[in-house]
Amino acid sequence: MSATLPVLDYTADMLRQLAEADVHRALAEDVGAGDLTAALVPAGKTASARILAREAAVICGVPWAEAALRQVAPGAQWTWRVAEGQRCQPDQTVLEMTGLARGLLTAERTVLNFLQLLSAVATRTADYVAAVAQVPSLDGETGRVRARIVDTRKTLPGLRLAQKYAVHCGGGWNHRIGLYDAVLIKENHIAAAGGVTEVLAQVRATASITAVAKFIEIEVETLAQLEEALQAGATMVLLDNMDLPTLREAVRINAGRAILEVSGGVNMGTVREIAATGVDRISIGALTKDVKAVDFSMRFVDL
């Protein structure tokens, strides 16, 4: 069963507009009224520079790096040596630039900040995707992965769309973008509504929700709750913090009736076994929440 997921429109125009807005905010907090240190460099001096990756990574953040150069280094020219979504090796040149030295210096930290964050998200996502790539589906076939790696709303404030794009760039899938485009009924919603059956009936009867929600999903913590949700017509169920035997039993009980998603307890040591239970989706907050920045540096080669 394939999961119905919100899909961002990752067109060149969408990414450029998103990157321009993100970079505008980043430059406002970094540059303010002007770069005092770059002012020490003669105004008309030109230079060439390159950005090096100090470790292996999946490159992500090209639109953001280019937006920073456009905004503070007008007239600069650049060439990417590693394309968006491709892997680089340690000490490999990723980007070469030529332009006014002042502009390149002012853009440096903003370019690196976006590259180090988004490449980290893409790299971690790619590692999880690779980890489940050879897990056989329930019919025993490998190379046809049943479980998709999915992100969450655990993102840096103001950078959610950028991080979700990075997940996409790393081969993962986007969950709901925010509270406005899909329904995820959690334990507090269930308690407030009076139970699993009651909350599902209520959400289906609310026209303002059903008219816009891309999907309606309910979180369950026990097999009894799963059975109740299925009896109430749930089509997407989030299995929260269940151990492997319970997950396998949940897949058996479900029998293909609903899309099953797993959350909680997912790491590189457990993700293969979770995927092997036969669930459809594995959502991982750590893709965007706990990332360690990829190490990049910029060096002038002709100044």
Q: What's the average model confidence in pLDDT over 162-172?
A: 97
Query: Does the annotation list 250 as a binding residue?
Result: no
**Residue 302: pLDDT band by 50, 70, 90 thresholds?**
confident
Q: Are 128 and 149 in contact (CB under 8 A)?
A: yes
Q: What's the average model confidence in pLDDT over 146-150?
A: 90
Domain co-membership, 296 together with 273: no
**Residue 142: pLDDT band by 50, 70, 90 thresholds?**
very low
Q: What's the average model confidence in pLDDT over 210-224?
A: 95
Q: Does the pLDDT at position 139 exceed 60? A: no
Domain co-membership, 168 together with 278: yes
2 domain residue, yes or no: no
Amino acid identity of residue 186, one-letter, is K
Query: Does the annotation list 269 as a binding residue?
Result: no
219 domain residue, yes or no: yes
Query: Does the annotation list 131 as a binding residue?
Result: no
**Pairwise CA distance, residues 259 & 280, whole Å:** 6
pLDDT score for 6: 60
Domain co-membership, 195 together with 84: no
Q: What's the average model confidence in pLDDT over 278-283?
A: 96
Compute the 3-state secondary structure of the chain and give helix, strand, coil in percent, each to the nearest 5: 40, 20, 40
Domain co-membership, 108 together with 168: no
**Pairwise CA distance, residues 7 & 76, whole Å:** 33
Query: Does the annotation list 284 as a binding residue?
Result: yes
Q: What's the average model confidence in pLDDT over 65-71?
A: 98
Tokens at 5, concatenated: 């997921």
**Pairwise CA distance, residues 213 & 71, whole Å:** 37
Domain co-membership, 111 together with 139: no
Domain co-membership, 107 together with 142: no
Q: What is the CATH number of the domain that holds 42?
A: 3.90.1170.20
16 domain residue, yes or no: yes
pLDDT score for 3: 45
Query: Does the annotation list 153 as a binding residue?
Result: yes
1 domain residue, yes or no: no
Q: Are 294 and 111 in contact (CB under 8 A)?
A: no
Domain co-membership, 140 together with 274: yes
Domain co-membership, 122 together with 171: no
Structurally, the chain folds into a number of domains equal to 2
Of 11-25, 138-152, 259-273, the poorest mean pLDDT is in 138-152
Q: Are 196 and 228 in contact (CB under 8 A)?
A: yes
Query: Does the annotation list 198 as a binding residue?
Result: no
50 domain residue, yes or no: yes
pLDDT score for 273: 95
pLDDT digits (tens, 9 = 90+) for 1-60: 444 566 678 999 999 999 999 999 999 999 999 999 999 999 999 999 999 999 999 999
Percent of the chain with pLDDT over 70: 94
For residue 71, the enclosing domain spans 12-128+291-302
**Pairwise CA distance, residues 218 & 232, whole Å:** 11
DSSP code at position 39: G
Query: Does the annotation list 137 as a binding residue?
Result: no
Catalytically active residues, by annotation: 109, 154, 186, 219, 240
51 domain residue, yes or no: yes
Distances (CA, A) of 1 to 234, 252, 254, 278, 287: 14, 14, 12, 11, 24
Query: Does the annotation list 195 as a binding residue?
Result: no
What are the DSSP calls for 174-187, one per residue? ---SSTTS-EEE-H
Domain co-membership, 285 together with 138: yes
Q: Are 286 and 265 in contact (CB under 8 A)?
A: no
Q: Are 267 and 274 in contact (CB under 8 A)?
A: no
Domain co-membership, 164 together with 285: yes
Cα of 267 vs its chain's centroid, Å: 16
Domain co-membership, 181 together with 224: yes
Query: Does the annotation list 50 as a binding residue?
Result: no
3 domain residue, yes or no: no
Query: Does the annotation list 110 as a binding residue?
Result: no
pLDDT score for 7: 61
Average pLDDT, the chain: 93
Domain co-membership, 123 together with 172: no
